[in-house]
Amino acid sequence: MGKGGGCVPSKSKASKQDAPLSSSQRSISTHGQSPRNSNSSSIPQRKLRIFIVFYSMYRHVESLARKIKKGVDGVEGAEGVLYRVPETLTPEALEQMKAPPKDDSIPVMSVEQLVEADGLLFGFPTRYGCMAAQMKAFFDSSGALWREQKLAGVPAGFFVSTGTQGGGQETSAWTAITQLAHHGMLYVPIGYTFGAGMFETDSIRGGSPYGAGVFSGDGTREPSETEVALAEHQGKYMALTVKRFVHPYSSTSKSKYN
């Protein structure tokens, strides 16, 4: 957070109970349960949950989020869960901006729920090369989690939407990495695991080694087939990456990403 007295919690507030868990102690159990002991093989395993947390004004980011969920759900033992962050603009402002109504079937997330995820993918439109204010406000409200490092060791990544080719497909992710670093999360870019699709130059395509992306243009452009496929790939890639953390020596850890 870096506010006030800096990023070090006050010693007067520190206690043994408040000490952050090490990566080996992090729980992958269902919400409300105690961290699972590595020797407790009798506890039934649940699906790994990848939370896809996004802000979308004109539904371009939302369309990518849905495809990312499809990619996550296609991996055995994993499920994608969609959440949107709270809106900060008034209904009157959104109406003037001709923003379509939000899909009520996707719940609004509170920062406290982040600790329930095994992996996180954050999606947002760019604003001058950075994340939109709505997503930044969401991160800014996560101070309690930061103070106790509740998200340390959690794999996380980004996907974005920009209006133009030079509008921030890469810089939006670069500038967002600081949020993960302060929380101790593990940034997971997709690299060039998408294969030949990353090298196509015959048509306009959003996305980069940092994550999936879409060009929205004036707001009317729909995601291309390649952009949609890249988003689905990112979901699969993240799910397989999380599985490698949980089951590093299983056969799933040898699965190909593309």
pLDDT at residue 55, rounded to an integer:
97
Residue 32 is given by DSSP the state T
Q: How far is CA 54 from the centre of its chain?
A: 8
Q: Is the pTM of this model over 0.85?
A: no
pLDDT at residue 15, rounded to an integer:
42
pLDDT at residue 252, rounded to an integer:
47
Name the 3-class secondary structure at 54.
strand
Distance CA 142, CA 252 (A): 33
Q: CB neighbours (10 Å) of residue 145?
A: 16
pLDDT at residue 249, rounded to an integer:
64
pLDDT at residue 257, rounded to an integer:
56
Phi-psi region of 160 (alpha: psi -120 to 50; beta: other; left: phi over 0): beta
Q: Who's near 48: CB < 8 A, 6+ residues apart? A: 28, 77, 78, 79, 118, 119, 239, 242, 243, 246
Distances 4 to 7, 8, 20, 83 between C-alpha atoms, Å: 8, 10, 21, 31
pLDDT at residue 248, rounded to an integer:
74
Q: Which is nearest to 35 in space by CA: 25, 45, 46?
A: 25
pLDDT in tens, 144-194: 999 999 999 999 999 999 988 877 889 999 999 999 999 999 999 999 999
Distance CA 166, CA 215 (A): 10
Residues of the chain with pLDDT under 70: 1-44, 249-258
Between helix 225-246 and helix 60-73 the angle, nearest 10°, is 50
Question: What Rg, from alpha-carbon coordinates, does the chain have?
Answer: 19
